[in-house]
Structure 1
Amino acid sequence: MSNRAAILKSEKVGFEIRDTETGKPGKGEVLVKVHAAAIEPTDAELARYAILYTVMKVKYPTVLGSPIAGIVEALGAGVEKVKVGERVVCGTKIRVHRKAKYGGLQRFTVVDESEIVEARDEVPFTKAVTLASYTPPGALFGATTLNMHRPSIPASPLPDSEQGKKILIWGGSSAMGSISISYAKQAGYTVISTSSRRNFGLLKSLGADHIFDHDDPATVEKVRALFPIDYWHDTLSLFNSLEIIIKILAPEGGTVTKANVLLLDPPGMLGNPTLPEGVTLQMCRFSTHAPENKEWAEWLLSRGGFLEEGIKSGIVKGVPAEVVGGLEKVDEGIAMVNKGVRFIVLCLY
């Protein structure tokens, strides 16, 4: 069984496309024949800046990429969740184990059984892979992150303690922001979000209740007019986006509104900005295997769980993918993500 991969040989260099060894699944692991592989901002930043979100050094040469969608090729010992030949979508283990066999940008990759979700025939691989990121539901509903009330299918009312609560999702037209909106709306929250004006229609289709232009200086006061806002999530995690959020929370000469802002990047990547007293920053560190996330993982990733049903029913939504080609387009895809294209997908078969 021949494998071919986009190999990142060392820090901050281009990818080499070449034949390589096919990984063997160990206990509780599954080998997947990859039909669609995503390039996320994490991959682009790692390739460009050699920074891993887990703040751990990469072992070169390596293969990046997560999530993937494809067909189960082989099973490791003890696997019962899936069978050979099933269509699946799954995150990869590259950011945790940092070994090339776990990267998604190759024809065959090894994934964890517990993180596999069925990709039903009615959903193309190139669409399923854009919706399978665990980052948005981890950020919103993880016990150590925002810890919001989880959604259900069909939707159910929020508990009394959460009724009427609002979340600001800054960067709603980003890959992570768009999916976050769909999760938060299904859960029953009022969603405030931002984008450029050309993407207002997208945010409206995702269900956002209040949409503002992130480049409009009037947005600061328009968002403040919606206080209280209970949850704050900056899905762009840029210096400029955080700067505006701080202006909303601490207007010049005004009273500071206490809040914890959840970021996708370490605050250090934003220059460790000086914060008003009462405003804190938190990086989204989330593991599907952490003991405190056991119930979360069962809710999202089990057979018939929320992610499987959410993708099938169309409840989990996001930005349309830009499909650029096969492995030979990895460098081009990385460059596109770094220039602001929201989601790149490669077709490997």
Structure 2
Amino acid sequence: MKTEIPKSMRALVGDRSIYARISNYICNNPSGDGVKVATVPVPDIQDDEILVRVRCVALNPTDFKHIDILSPRGAIIGCDYSGTVAKVGSKVLGTWAIGDRIAGSTHGGLYTDRGSFAEYLKIPADLAWKVPSSVSDQQATTFGVSAITAMLALNARLGVPWVDIGSAPKQPGTPILIYSGSTSAGLYAIQLAKLAGLTVITTASPRSHDLVKEYGADDVFDYRSPTAVEEIIRAYPNIDRAMDCFSEGGSTDFCARVVHNSRGWVVTLLDSGKTDIDGVKIDFLLAYTAFNKEFQWLPPFGPRFAGIPADKEALRQFYAALPEVSQYLVPPPLKEVDGGLANLGTGLDLLRQGKVSGTKLVASLD
């Protein structure tokens, strides 16, 4: 089956000058949505890549953070996608076929030829997954940044066993703390840890206690309680691992105190500059390392990050298993953003203003 592929497409691109982005970084006070819909070339693919006709996308905080600080003018925004295969590179024939349903994530926001908020997207053929009929396009697109982050934190950093459907758990009953369990990454982390047999302790505001329990949390504590740390330690004195899905406002210190008695390990999603807190290892995780490609923020003077081959292999393993494992994972509650590409900026601004809680914003591009 052949499809007509145009030479140009519509895409949502960054539209802030370097001066505005530096000002946003220093003052943390962005004005305007910082994006526009532009007509750009459909990207050319290499022999080991595929071209995706994007049908649906999910919105993440990393998208507006790129727009406000990191994205050069003209860079295509967006990481998470689902769609159909439109073209297949010569080295991956037989693995993918035109028309296959596909989903995954990419490092949007830095490049003019790669980003999911566009009609077409090129991706490495081995870093995507085939979506079964039991999963909708909207659901599939949520298995991107949030799910990858949860997987890397648990399986590639904290030593949680890979989910093996039908096999006995390898670490039954072992406790783990998922801080801010009601976030999208937190909800996936809760489920992956539970499927691996662990006992999951999480934190959430009282209004989200029922939500995290529905997703499998064994015990939930109000992070605002002044006695929460002591209560967790008393109930789980040997706890030695934590994933900090919030990574701001003292959350990492909270996690470090919980695992301090075991001189444990905390994975964070924002860089505090700390690698150790009173004997507790602090590990900063960026999901983009799984694409195994060096990247730089605010070039030429911003920090550089190396790709990590082991993270890429972990992502390949995760996506290879996901067609089966997805049957046992419940996506976060979804909220549709209407209006296609032209209205994605509105959804991103809701995230920017902190007006999205307990749901995942998704949008159809058709």
Out of 176-185 and 76-85, give the one that drifted further: 76-85
Out of 329-338 and 107-116, give the one that drifted further: 329-338
C-alpha distance in 2 between matches for 1:90 and 1:248: 34
1:142-153 matched pairs, under 5 angstroms: 142=156, 145-153=157-165
Task: Tell me the equivalent position of 1:4.
Answer: 10
Structure 1, unaligned stretches of length 5 or more? 51-57, 251-255
Tell me which of the two structures has the higher relative contact order, counting C-alpha pairs closer than 8 angstroms and 6 or more residues apart: 1
Q: Percent identity?
A: 25
Change beyond 3 A, Cα 1:331–1:293: closer
Aligned mate of 1:137, from 133, 151, 163: 151
Task: Tell me the equivalent position of 2:361.
Answer: 344
Native 8 Å contact 1:93 1:111 kept in 2 = no
1:169-208 matched pairs, under 5 angstroms: 169-208=178-217
Letter in 1 for 2:168: P
1:1-349 matched pairs, under 5 angstroms: 1=6, 2-10=8-16, 11=21, 14-50=34-70, 58-80=71-93, 81-94=95-108, 98-133=110-145, 134-142=148-156, 145-154=157-166, 156-159=167-170, 162-225=171-234, 226-248=236-258, 257-268=262-273, 276-285=277-286, 286-287=289-290, 289=292, 290-293=308-311, 296-302=314-320, 305=321, 307-311=322-326, 313=327, 315-325=328-338, 326-338=340-352, 339-341=354-356, 342-349=359-366
C-alpha distance in 1 between matches for 2:264 and 2:163: 23
C-alpha distance in 1 between matches for 2:231 and 2:57: 39
Letter in 1 for 2:362: V
Equivalent pairs counted in the alignment come to 321
C-alpha distance in 2 between matches for 1:293 and 1:247: 28
Superposed CA deviations along residues 296-322 of structure 1, whole A, max 9, x for unmatched, are: 3453222xx2x11122x1x12232122
Pairwise CA distance, 1:64? 1.7
Change beyond 3 A, Cα 1:266–1:281: same
Query: TM-score with structure 1 length normalisation?
Result: 0.85
CA RMSD across the alignment: 2.2
Out of 128-137 and 285-294, give the one that drifted further: 285-294
Task: Tell me the equivalent position of 1:253.
Answer: none
Query: TM-score with structure 2 length normalisation?
Result: 0.81
